[in-house]
Chain A
Amino acid sequence: MNILFAQMRRDLALIWAGRGEAAVMLAFFLIIITLFPLAIGPDVATLRPMALPVIWIAALLASLAGFSRIFAEDVRSGWVDQVALSPLPLGIYALSKAVTHWLAGGLPMLLATPVLALMLYVDLESLAPLILALAIGTMALTLLGVLAAALGEGARNGGSLMALLVLPLAVPVLIFGTLASTPDDGGLLSPHMLLLMAVLAVLLAIVPVAAAAALVEAETDSS
C-alpha cells in the first residue's frame, strides 16, 4: 500500500511539473463547449436539448486527448523496467497512473461543468445527476485511455491504431452517461446511472490486468 502511495506521489509530482499538459485538457474541454453556442446561436430552445450531449462529447474527446503520453516517458526512461522488478505489480502501477491522470484531467473538468452547464441553459435540477454521471463517466474514460496508452506502448508504433480500437469501447459510457444525466423521474440513482457504474466496475477489473499484460511487452530503446 505504501508502495502504491509512493508511486502516486511520484506521478502527481510529475504531473505538477508538466501541469501545462493537464491544463490543455481542460482548455480543450472548455473550448469545445464554448464553440457550440457560438455556432448555433444563443437561442434557448435549440441550445437546451443539445446541452447534455455536447458536454458529454466534449468530456469524451478531452479525456481521450491527453492519454497517449501516459506511459511514454516511463517506458523510454526505463522506469517501467524498474517497476517490473519491484514488488509493485504492473497492473497496480497502471491503476496509479489512471487515478493521478483523472485527478489532473477529469476533476478540473467536473469543477468547470456547473458554469458551462448554465451557459447552455441546463436546469439547475439536472445539475446533480449530470455531475455524478460525469464523475463516473470520466473515470471510466480515463481507464479506457490508460488501456489504450498501455496497448500503444506494447505495440510500439501501433499507438494510433490502438486508440481507434479502444474508442468504440467508449460508446457505452457515452450512451449510459447521457441517459443518466437526464433521469425520467428526476432521481439520482436511475437505472442508467447504475449501468454506468457497472461499466466502471467492469473496467476497474479488466484494465489493470490488460494494461499489465501490454506493459510487459513495452520496451525501452536500447540505445
Chain B
Amino acid sequence: MRGMRVLQRGLSHQMGAGEITRLHGPNGAGKTTLLRAIAGRLRPAAGVIACDVPIIYVGHADALAAARSGRDNLADWARLNGFDAQRDRITAVLSDMSATSFADLPARVLSRGQRRRLSLARLLLGPKTALWLLDEPSTGLDSAAASQLDAMIGRHLDGGGMVMAATHLPLAAVHNGGTLTLQAPA
C-alpha cells in the first residue's frame, strides 16, 4: 500500500537458502514498496512478511554521509550493525569493489557510480546467510562494476545467502531462483 492506494493484492512468495528472486514489473507497480515492506520500513495493508535471516537493504538512497569518507561511512555502518569494522576488513571489502582509489575522499565529491559501489560494499561486510534486498542495484555502475556485482551475487548465493532484487537485468542468471512479476496497479 502506498499513499492510501493498494498496489498489489494476494502476493505470495517464498524463498530458501541460495535462491534469488528477481522482481519485475512496470514503473509504479510497487517493486520498491515491496522491498521496503520486507525491510520493515512500510507496513503491508494485510498479510504477513516473515524472514529468519539478517537483512541488508541497498535502496535508491546510498546512506552515505556527504562529509564522511567512504571508508568511514562503511566503518560506521559496520559498527551500527555490530559487524567487524577493523581497518583491514574494510580495506579488503573496498578493494573487492574496486573502490580503494576513492575510499578516503568525502562522499560528497564522488560520482553516482562511485557512491553506488560504496553502498554495495556493505553487502560484503554482513553475514553469509543474509538476505540482500537490492533496489535497482546496477544503477549508475559501469559495465565492469555491473559484472562484478553479478559475480558478487553469484558467490553470495553459492554460500547459502539469499537475494531479492528489483532489476531488469538477468542478474546471476545461472542460479536457482524465480521471477516475481508485479502487475501495474489498476
Contacts and interface: CB of A to CB of B under 8 A. Distances in A.
Contact of A73 (B66, B76, B81, B85): B66
A79 B63 contact: yes
15 contacts: A3-B80, A6-B79, A7-B80, A9-B76, A13-B72, A77-B66, A78-B60, A81-B39, A81-B63, A82-B57, A85-B40, A85-B81, A86-B82, A87-B82, A220-B61
A118 interface: no
Given A2-B82, A3-B80, A13-B72, A78 B63 contact: yes
A150 B72 CA distance: 25
Grouping DSSP codes into helix (H, G, I), strand (E, B) and loop, the B interface class, with mixed when no group exceeds half, is loop
A10 interface: yes
A222 B61 CA distance: 7
A78 B79 contact: no
A212 B81 CA distance: 18
B67 A77 contact: no
A189 interface: no
A87 B40 contact: no
Instruction: Kindly list the 5 A-B residue pairs having the minimum CB-CB distance in the complex, ordered from nearest.
Output: A78-B61, A6-B79, A17-B67, A78-B63, A220-B61
A3 B81 CA distance: 7
Interface residues of B, number: 26
A10 B65 contact: yes
Contact of A77 (B55, B64, B80): B64
B63 A14 contact: no
A85 B65 contact: no
A73 B62 CA distance: 12
Interface string B21-48: 0000000000010001001110000000
A85 B61 contact: no
Contacts, number: 82
A48 interface: no
B32 A81 contact: no
Contact of B80 (A17, A78, A86): A86
A3 B65 contact: no
A2 B82 CA distance: 8
B77 interface: yes
B81 A86 contact: yes
B68 interface: yes
A14 B59 contact: no
Nearest to B108: A17
A30 to B, nearest CB: 26
Contacts of A83: 80
Contacts of B61: 76-78, 81, 220-221
Interface in A1-34: 2-3, 6-7, 9-10, 13-14, 17-18
